[in-house]
A and B are shown apart, each in its own frame.
Chain A
Amino acid sequence: MSEQPALEMLAQRLDALSPLDEADKAAIVALPHTLRVMKAHEYIVREGDKAENSCLLRSGFASRHKIVANGSRQIVSVHMMGDMVNLQNSLLKTADHSVQALTDAEVAFIPGKAIVALAAARPAIAIAMWLDTLIDGAVFREWIANVGRRDAKARTAHVLCEFALRQERAGLATRNKYDLPMTQEQLGDALGLTSVHVNRTLKALEEARLIARDKRTVTIADWEALRKVGDFDPSYLFLELSEEIAATRAAAELYAQH
């Protein structure tokens, strides 16, 4: 049996965002790419570098971050299997932030020029990739609100809810139990808190019986309560988008027939 093509995962993700036909999917899978196995902490893209590629995370976890003048790092998003970590670099040729592997990871580097050519040739793919970057933006907006206006407990609960639904979507886990491959320090950088404060906050969530932890495994004991504490409404993740678009298209086709 042959293995699944390296970019099949990208075709599936884009198809879920905006329905693609078989020729579209075949064109995505045929994109030129280089596969690299990366170690935890290795940089996929560095801020300030020329960015010639957009990268698909085939396995493992990665974060996007910026480092400010005092040396502090702010993680602005966390990525997992099936995510494009810098689709914007197909058009923005200088990296304005860094992407770093949180765990060992397999990454497909796809030349930006090839992505732009594909988008120009196939509008359905262009729409799907546009949606992907728009949803990136929606997640960044949510994270700004999170670190800017929610308290430590709500912030932490919020990202735990987000990671649960995204891991479920990626087929890595269920929303009730998943591996969180981040140190307290890395979580702190995502939440704008110190590592010690993160530990205390996670302990508080455990004591309130909202979550349980065993090393890096998180069990969400009371999803509804955690969602409330975290002020979490998943609509910004647009997980149901593919169903909505399919329904809209079906309605449009029905209308056209009459």
Chain B
Amino acid sequence: MPTFYFHVCNGAGFAEDEEGQELPDQDTARSTAITSARDIMAAEMRAGQLNPASFIEVEDAEHRHLFTLQFSEAYTVNRPSPS
């Protein structure tokens, strides 16, 4: 399986991924980035400090940039319908 690297940039600064994860394909890399963003945001929310401007840079095994996942892409906000 190919290796993907997930570098996180958020309120705590930049965390370079030196190890990477072996995943079947880029779609799985995207869903992994989404799950990771949700995991980090959930912890931030519990601490009362959300950094929604954070993002994850995803690279392939040769460190070529594949895509950037903004944390804001990892969730939807349901607003109450106006009554």
Contacts and interface: CB of A to CB of B under 8 A. Distances in A.
| A, B in one complex | yes
Nearest to A196: B36
B12 interface: yes
Interface stretch (A77-85, A112-120, A200-208, A230-238): A200-208
A217 interface: no
A153 to B, nearest CB: 9
Contacts of A152: 43
A197 B32 CA distance: 11
Interface in A174-212: 183-185, 193-197, 199-200, 203-204, 207
A194 B15 contact: no
Given A200-B12, A207-B13, A195 B46 contact: no
Contacts of A203: 12-13, 15-16
Given A151-B47, A185-B21, A195 B36 contact: yes
A199 B40 CA distance: 11
Size category of the binding interface on chain A: 10 to 19
Contacts of A196: 6, 8, 17, 32-33, 36, 39-40, 56
Contacts, number: 49
Interface in B1-52: 6, 8, 10, 12-13, 15-17, 19, 21, 32-33, 35-36, 39-40, 43, 46-47
Size category of the binding interface on chain B: 20 to 34
User: Helix, strand, loop or mixed for chain A's interface?
Assistant: helix
A197 B19 contact: no
Instruction: Pick the most buried of B32, B39, B40: most chain A CB atoms within 10 A of its CB.
Output: B39
Contacts of B12: 200, 203-204
B13 A151 contact: no
A197 B56 CA distance: 11
A200 B43 CA distance: 12
Contacts of B39: 193-194, 196-197
Contacts of B35: 194
A183 B17 CA distance: 12
A207 B40 CA distance: 18
Contacts of B15: 199-200, 203-204
Contacts of B13: 203, 207
Contacts of B47: 151
Nearest to A216: B19
B46 A151 contact: yes
Given A151-B43, A203-B12, 15 more contacts: A151-B46, A151-B47, A184-B19, A196-B6, A196-B32, A196-B39, A196-B40, A197-B36, A199-B6, A199-B8, A199-B17, A200-B10, A200-B15, A203-B16, A204-B15
Q: Return the 4 tightest CB-CB contacts between A and B, nearest first.
A: A196-B36, A200-B15, A194-B39, A203-B15
